[in-house]
Amino acid sequence: MSTVNNALTLKQILLGISDSLNEAQNHLRNVKPYDEFGRPNTLYTLPYLDFNLQVEAEFEKETSTETQTSQSPESLPYSRAYNKGYERALAFKPVANTTTDTKATNKVTSTISGRFVAVVPNEGLPQMIINATPKQTSNIHIYDIDVEVFNAAGEKISDALVEFNYHQTKTELLNPNATLGHGTSFLNTSEIRTDANGKAKTQVTVDAVDFANGHILIIEVNVGNVLTKISIQK
């Protein structure tokens, strides 16, 4: 059997390094600040990791019969190359001792260098918080959605673009075996910026049939990648 089955794609190599880095960081993060005698432990973090790998890239042409069933599931998408005369895709493996082989090969030894850099969540800024509250108006099918955007430090976030979306898929999951009217829509705007006090407001009209049947309607409110969900029900 070919030694190329022990090779990895470049994607697998980099993902393997990143997974190991995450495991190491999680272990360090879970170290107790004090030992059993009350003495402070030394705490570490991994702000970045430089790596330098010497690998062998190889196109290989088999002289023996081998079926795709002998390949791992990870290698199957890369099992064929589009280079004439080769039946294997480009794969990488650590440089090992040269062994005698009867197969025709085309190998290139190269060095892969790079750095994994830890990115502080939210770019080091206090976590953003969205407070969204639906309020029924005089028209039972129309709701005001009041939104307040602030961060964990209590600072109000002005001029933040707030997006409103009716989550039809989630609504259908919460109402099994129900026929939804799909008449829910936003009246004035589905995007609005917060004012100087970090507040924004929009109106949503819910489908009359859905409202009468007591269906749970899900509305998503997000600012960038910060998301919250609210539900509207009779």
Where do the structural domains in the chain lie, given as residue ranges? Answer: 3-117, 124-232
Q: Residue 2 to residues 56, 104, 134, 135: CA-CA distances in angstroms?
A: 15, 11, 63, 67
Cβ atoms of residues 128 and 151 within 8 Å: yes
Cα 187–chain centre separation: 32
Residue 2 CB coordination number (10 Å): 19
Q: What is the pLDDT of residue 9?
A: 75
Q: What is the pLDDT of residue 95?
A: 64
Q: Which of 109, 62, 112, 121 has the alpha carbon at shortest distance from 89? A: 62
Q: What is the pLDDT of residue 208?
A: 83
Q: What is the pLDDT of residue 89?
A: 56
Q: What is the pLDDT of residue 69?
A: 45
Going by CATH, does the domain composed of 124-232 fall within 3.30.420.40? no
Q: Residue 91 to residues 55, 95, 107: CA-CA distances in angstroms?
A: 10, 12, 10
Half-sphere exposure of 223 (CA within 13 A, CB side): 24
Structure token pair of residue 227: 């998301």
For Cα atoms 47, 226, 122, give the angle at the middle one, nearest 5 degrees: 20
Enumerate residue ranges in the chain where pLDDT < 70.
Answer: 1-7, 58-107, 181
36 Ramachandran zone, left/alpha/beta (phi>0; psi -120 to 50): alpha
Q: What is the pLDDT of residue 56?
A: 77
- DSSP-assigned letters across all residues of 41-103: PP----SEEEEEEEEEEEEEE-SS---GGGS-TTTGGGS--SSTT--S--EEEE-------SS
Mean pLDDT across the chain, nearest whole number? 78
Cβ atoms of residues 165 and 226 within 8 Å: no
